[in-house]
Structure 1
Amino acid sequence: MGLLRRLIGYPSTRHARALARRFLDDTKRADQVQRRVLARLLERDAASDFARRHGLTTARDLETYRRRVPIRDYDGHEPDFARVRQGDLTALFGPGVEVLMFAKTSGTTAIPKTIPVTRESLDAYRAGWKIWGIQAFDAHPDMLSQGLKPILQIAGDWRESFTPSGLPCGAITGLTARMQSPLVRLAYCLHPSVGRVKDVDTKYYLALRSALPRDLGTIIAANPATVLGIVKLAERDAATLLRDLYDGTVAPRFREAIPPETQRALSWSLSRKHRGLVRRLESLLERHGRLRPIDYWPHLQFLANWTGGTMGAYLRDYPDWFGPKPVRDVGLIASEGRMTIPIEDHTAAGILDFIHHHFEFLPEETVERAGTVHDLAQADTLEAHELVEGRRYFLLMTTAGGLRRYHIQDVVRCVGFVGKAPLLEFLNKGAHVSSLTGEKLSEFQVVAAVDQTRREFNARWMTYLVLPVWGDPPGYRLLIEADDLAGADSEYLDRLARAIDHKLRHLNEEYANRLDTRRLAPLKIELIASGSWTALQRRRLERGGTLEQYKKPCLLPDLDLFSSFRVIRPPSSASSPSTTITPF
């Protein structure tokens, strides 16, 4: 096995090291590289309808590009993306460009985003992972000392749906898993077909069935909630898991959730009996009273997932499960593409991926003053090398996948430079987008759900605020001043919360998925002391701006803010004189 692992690791690591060396060397001239990246993309797509419409057929420079192309969010891109989904690639791309799929993710409105994945953008995505991976593996030498140690990496389904032209829509991770060479795939525990499994517990179960028999080197998952979900399932369902490992069977409740294609792909591995492993796991249970990866994966080298923004809160639980294992952030990466490549453990900061995409930056205060993306259309932007350490910015992306000055609404902080390339730390998903477990709940969705519910309940209260709250699982609280709901009891508030949650499910499928898989708690309504909104307004104005500029938010991605409010407990339905009054 050691020889096979070395055969797997050597060719791929040699290529990855060459990519990483070039990337780090190019940081010295990151400004020049960025200009070349933009010129190459403009030249490639000069014959597209987009280029003709914006006067870019001969333009290759940033100054002209800025003047002629407005800053836009997804909605501004959607008309061209719709044509590409129909098979009309000339909407955005020049001749010879191949679209392989559409990366699908929740949008800020009710419509999921579908981002074109071209051959070039996929190559950039894979190259970014290789650069990240070799930096992480070389920092933990035992990952490679005997060849590449086994890796548990969770991938999604790249064929969730299909466009009218027949192209798949789904998770780009599923496509990259499919494209791995058979030799490299031996190092990865999970078969690519597991991405087709929709039930999260079943996916975690299959991850454990695949990884427990192996001397695991690392777990890679964007969301730390996924990592914790896997190891908690091992402890919660230990009896079922051990019985299936011993007998080479699959418990009916898990088997029912595995698609036929996945069952066929895993039939041999799931039928294997691991009786020695089960005896070892039973011994660990008897000795420690619980089943933890610190015991059953003793040679785990590091963990890899997001650590910035709200994701950092999950890391508090890691020592209990894994001991003092290092954590490497996987970088700011989304369906739109990779934005940063971290090169050290225990930091959310990474080097801007300046060699694959073109980036511009908007100072945070510019966006806050503007209010809407339409107000930002011709706003002044900064290039990557012009950022100031300690300042906060919104990212704009131009990519090989057809994004043009795309406002992704990610807030980053510049924490330094490597050469002329900035080190960026992810802070949050924009001023009015919250994401505790990857749900990307937007203020637009909250307002739409609350407005519909208010009409249904004939409610007259107008002012409210939704905040994320940490817990196990985390969730959201909708705050309303108690005077606005005078007479409401706990039963009424529960009905109101369920109605709003029901609408949020329809507006945001990822939010619905997190509720169904218990990664998010249901929405809860909290009554707060009268005068709370005035106090919040005063605190926010003290940080700058004027009363005329102040806009009352309906959603803020601030985990600490809830604790600043005084919560008023509503009467229980039993003590309330009436549970049917709705004078609100």
Structure 2
Amino acid sequence: MPSSRPRRMRNVGRENAQPIHAGALICPGGAFAMGLLSTLAQVWTVQRTVRDLGRYRAALNDPRGTQHRWLLNQVRREQGTLFGRDHHFDEIRSVADFRRNVPIGTYEDHAPYIERVRQGETEALFHRQSVRMFALTSGTTSARKYIPVTDRVLENYRRMWTAWGFLAYSRHRAAFPHARLTLVGDWDEFRTPSGIPCGSISGFTARLQNWIVRRGYVLPLAAARLPSLAAKYYLAWRLGLVRTVGSWMTPNPSTLLQLARFGTEHAEALLRDVRDGTLTGPYEWPAELLREVRGRLHPAAARARELEHLLHRTGEWRPRDVWPELQLIGCWTGGSMGAYLRSFPRYFGDIAVRDLGLIASEGRMTFPFEDHTPSGVLEVVSGFFEFIPVGDIESRQPTVLEAHELQEGHEYFILLTTASGLYRYHIRDVVRCTGWHHRTPLLEFLHKGDGVTSITGEKLTEYQATVAMSEALRECGLPVDAFALAPCWQEERPYYRLLLEAAAVPNAAMAQILAEAVDRRLQAGNIEYASKRRSDRLGPLQPMIVPNGFWERWDEQQRQRSGGTAEQFKRRVLLPQLPDGLLETLAERLLAPEACVN
């Protein structure tokens, strides 16, 4: 339960302790010039969002009542579905009844019902509702997970993203008049037997936006369907170079770093295209996309000269120099994602970074409203959430808590019940309660539940590895943003390896110094790791230098195997336990010529 004086964040919708008016956001400084229709549309959106945030604040003051009402409404709505009949929804009158009738489940437990929906039998999960699409996400095996998206899900998804943007741009009003660079996935990768599209929910909602709103984005809708991530990067730079850009948004910070470096690597072709008003590059551009961008491609000789001068003066194109108006980045910052943020100042300068929230294809779990923190308030209005203390997860009868029962500083697995037809769904995300906003918990993502390795009982987590690496990098003054630890078994004494690309460290001696610094911090952050090291049951962390380009190829192979998209993909900081020698072989294969074919 919250203490009598809980740590709080600013009120949602009351940034800087000043009221927010629609006109103040739409016309910062009185100089917003997108036209009358655009202004009217945005004023209407902002006014609706202000009303939504008012209701949201009331819900945050009563999380228990809000959660119970949401759950019982959901149960009543779906009691006639196959899932509802199988689990006796008509008998549920309380949270206790719900827990008695519905066991904690994984995707595999929900899969038979979802498969019926895929085949067109929507009443398996939804009473008198249409499924607009299936959001795809990677599974723990090679199979992909299909998450049904109904109109209810879409409406909540869009409203919460609108509210996120409203609060972010209210804090950073100077960014609002400028274009937004966002990367979204393909909403229609393929169709189910019943004709329902399967793909990225972000791409689906983007296509529902009206043309007035779409004018504010760098990339056209057709970019979502580009199969090549490099082509998407090239298009973003090509179109962005002739616009003022105020914000970059995509979940994965490693994607933002790749995109930030891409311009310098392709500067010659980009300069030519900007000067000539063309779109070339080493890519095949679909006819649909070319039609959509034709009106944007005009010769810009003056801009090309400006960019060429910048390149000669600095030797590179950093986003902070190319777009001085860039004010805001939206991406994940929690868990292992935080390691990438160390490299942001080099490319983006002293920029505001706001977490997008703990959000997955399965649903949104938190709603951040402050910069530079992974913490967000629990999303109490769009689902029912339960929590299992991390130490209880292996118990046959684990303790299960509601939101109002959490304790600050404690770590939990989170269970989801959502409008997507998921009930007591074990997503295997570990979160920490970091405080309270009103009476609702603030949560930060730590790691996936399976993001734990243990050779001799040390139970090393991805979060511990990320913190240790971040602290060691500060000590050593290195700008490493890609690494991983891999347990290596030896009969005499197993140990962990620290994988680094050659360009990340100046020499082998520095790599060894870094590994020793990480090892010390792992011992400081994990008493079991320290115990195993002291007793010599675990050897010291050893650096392993892999060829440049290793992580790019590794990521691509992992994405292909899991079926996820670049926007969804999170590189694991802890790799699976591999037999000694296999990593060397893997590095050779990944960098072999046949592995480098696009």
Q: TM-score, normalised by structure 2?
A: 0.74
Residue 423 of structure 2 corresponds to residue 404 of structure 1: yes
Q: Call closer, same or farther: CA 1:354–1:223 in 2, change over 3 Å.
A: same
Aligned mate of 2:78, from 38, 41, 45: 45
Whether 2:302 is the aligned partner of 1:286: answer no
Please name the residue that 1:184 is paired with. Answer: 213
Structure 2 residue identity aligned to 1:149: H
Whole-angstrom distance in 1 between the partners of 2:576 and 2:295: 43
Per-residue CA deviation, residues 407-429 of structure 1 (Å, 9 max, x unaligned), is 01110000111112110001011
Matches of 2:258 and 2:387 in 1, distance apart? 35
* Matched residue, 1:100: 132
| C-alpha distance in structure 1 between counterparts of 2:47 and 2:326, whole Å | 23
Q: Does 1:263 align with 2:290?
A: yes
Distance 2:423 2:130 in 1: 18
Deviations, residues 344-381 of structure 1 (Å, cap 9, x unaligned): 000000011101111111111111x34xxxx4xx6431
**Residue 153 in structure 1 maps to residue 182 in structure 2:** yes
Paired residues of 1:465 and 1:478 also in contact (CA < 8 A): no
Query: Contact 1:476–1:524 (CA<8 Å) still a contact in 2?
Result: no
Q: CA deviation at 1:505?
A: 7.0
Q: How far 1:504 sits from its partner (Å)?
A: 6.2
Aligned match of 2:298: 272
Instruction: Provide closer, same or farther for how the CA distance between residues 361 and 308 of structure 1 changes in structure 2, counting only shifts above 3 A.
Output: same
Query: Secondary structure at 2:282's aligned position in 1?
Result: helix
1:426 aligns with 2:445: yes
Cα distance in 2 for residues equivalent to 1:297 and 1:194: 21
Q: 1:16 to 1:320 in 2, by over 3 A?
A: same
Distance 1:279 1:503, change over 3 A: closer
Where do residues 449-468 of structure 1 align in structure 2 (5 Å cutoff)?
Answer: none
User: What secondary structure does 2:434 align onto?
Assistant: strand
Query: Aligned AA for 1:509?
Result: G
Against the structure 1 CA distance between its residues 523 and 210, is the aligned structure 2 distance closer, same or farther, given a 3 Å change threshold? farther
Residue of structure 2 aligned with 1:111, choices 143, 167, 173: 143
1:347-358 matches, within 5 Å, as: 347-358=373-384
Shift of 1:45: 0.5
CA deviation string 1:52-105 (max 9, x = no partner):
1111124242111110000001111111111110011111121x2111000101
Residue 409 of structure 2 corresponds to 390
How far residue 10 of structure 1 moved from its aligned partner, in angstroms, is: 2.4
Distance 1:250 1:521 in 2: 40
Residue pair 2:79, 2:88 contacting (<8 A) in 1 also? no
Task: Name which of 134, 138, 142 aligns with 2:174.
Answer: 142
Structure 2 counterpart SS, 1:166:
coil
C-alpha offsets along residues 212-242 of structure 1, whole Å, 9 cap, x if unaligned? 2222111111011111111110111111111
**Aligned position for 2:488:** 479
Matched positions, count = 484
Pick from 240, 243, 267 the counterpart of residue 238 of structure 1: 267
Q: Does 1:330 align with 2:356?
A: yes
Give the superposition deviation at 1:161: 1.5
> Structure 1 stretches of 5 or more lacking a match?
435-442, 444-463, 486-492, 529-566, 574-584
**Alpha-carbon RMSD:** 3.7
- 1:409, 1:521 → 2: CA distance? 16
State the shift of 1:268 in Å.
3.0
Corresponding residue for 2:591? none
- After superposition, give the CA deviation of every residue in 1:447-486 in whole Å (9 maximum; x if it has no partner): xxxxxxxxxxxxxxxxx9998898564456352317699x
- 2:133/2:149 contact within 8 Å kept: yes
| 1:345 to 1:57, Cα distance in 2 relative to 1, 3 A | same
Supply the distance in 1 between the matched residues of 2:461 and 2:351 (Cα, whole angstroms).
Answer: 35
> Within the alignment, does 1:89 sit opposite 2:115 as a pair?
no
Q: Is 1:18 aligned to 2:51, yes or no?
A: yes
Task: Output the CA distance in 1 between the equivalents of 2:253 and 2:340.
Answer: 6
1:351/1:260 Cα in 2 relative to 1: closer, same or farther (>3 Å)?
Answer: same
Classify the secondary structure of the residue corresponding to 1:267: helix
Deviations 1:168-187 (A, max 9, x none): 11110000100011111111
Paired residues for 1:299-310 under 5 Å: 299-310=325-336
TM, length-normalised to structure 1: 0.75
- In structure 2, relative to structure 1, the CA distance for the partners of 1:262 and 1:43 (3 Å cut) is same
Q: Summarize deviations over 1:553-581 as a string: whole Å, max 9, x none.
A: xxxxxxxxxxxxxx9x99xx9xxxxxxxx
Check conservation: 2:133, 2:197, Cα contact below 8 A: yes
